[in-house]
Structure 1
């Protein structure tokens, strides 16, 4: 089968090649890959800043996929050939709290990923894709959508009328905007580009902040919320900006720490955390059962993912380069018809 493989760290070492079609074991399914989407994690793996010690030789990268089941293991009963399914990043995380070693069972490293014509999935955590979505749309769900959903609903218990702040206009943030709005919350969105802020307003954002024009964006957030702060904040930036996130969140509010676009290291001022009684929670996607609940909600509200650009399989490198420049919503690679 055709496959993109990582011959060494760095995008220049991501090269097209051939790999054997794998055979599903007892509780696995083999899918024909239809489409994949890229996340910051995929870029970080290729760049060598995401657990490089776990990256195997000739890794097939990318975790997020939708595909059609073409073979099933002998113990698989709930999936059959022809079913269209999504991967779940952590292939061993079904529900509840993750096991300590769950990271060792994640697609796109150390397990083989989706940037190939075929892929093996654990049947226990494979989720049927929403029927109303195209392959390109469904491919965007496994990390970006589930991260936002799991943070805000399973853990955050978001209620109608509450406020949420999302940072930027990448995949997680746009999904958080769409989901929170559908849940009846009011969303504040930040970006450095006025044209992107105009687009998020069209998607339902309650208020927007250009953080280039307002570097102290936490003060604008307090202004919009009458000095109270937001109920939930999805922080994808990390670094020293985490201190601003604390100031922008209400007393007893929740910060979902999702990414580290700025830095993996933060010098956190603890006094505001203490006085504001801030709940700071690390988020690492979510379990398969939460994915199922999210898909029911997506079906009910007919929420269509926002896709920036769809690339062909041969344009995988260009897709990574686009991700590095920034995207509005998701970057997708179409693998097969």
Structure 2
């Protein structure tokens, strides 16, 4: 494992990356057309753990709805979550909204300058701050997103999973050493592109890679060994029973979740831990409740698998639902609220219309 590189090695590395970028790098992505701090920040948050092709329509939709950070800050969180629906990792959307408000309230609508100041904002870590600082603010700053980690792990044969503190520290050292003082913005985009397109996770295109002569993994034919795999843990499975409380007009009740936790702030079905609890479900006046079990929906989180077994319960107009925080949802008149992807799937199954949420 390489722990140090010489200035000459670093220079040769970043020059190779920049030459490759000048020749074949992507330069037509939406966020590359106007490199303001707001637009770069929005793209970087959306691109966390999400592919470019998935992000582009969401990014364009957000910019159309919220052209400026002040308009995003002034928007209701439900509307922000509605536009984010389907993109996943919803804490990003909540932090996005909170960050926009802080930028407007505490920084007069202008993003603070530099990695340290940017990192103090919600949802902006060191790498995201580096991307904003280098691309939008002309600062000298390194980045270390997932794509860059993969490139550096292979080129320098870095052992250990990137989530391990010692490994991450080494990767940051390498990232800073290989980031040039000039053309930092271009290099930031180039090294991300290199990992996203050429040095891909499963089938790296090593013959077209600009740094193949530098790459220890290529020399040793161990490319797919890097980054090292994380030790797998047994993923537990949880079961939930969403209640699809449906009125005669076809609408179903969605209640708003607390602002933190899984699907925080999104609208979801109420749940019971077991079908046997249905008769005592306090929100219903229906004796006895008549439930129909629909097909199970499976959804994977990072730390557990969820099996959702929806229970369709027909209720009369006279039945009572505690309408404290929620909406009656119908596809003909969809509410402008954030809805979790599994809930979208259940709604599509219920109304036999896919997809319901655009």
Using structure 2 for the length normalisation, give the TM-score: 0.22
Higher strand share: 1
Report which of the two structures shows the higher radius of gyration computed on alpha carbons.
2
Higher helix share: 2
Using structure 1 for the length normalisation, give the TM-score: 0.23
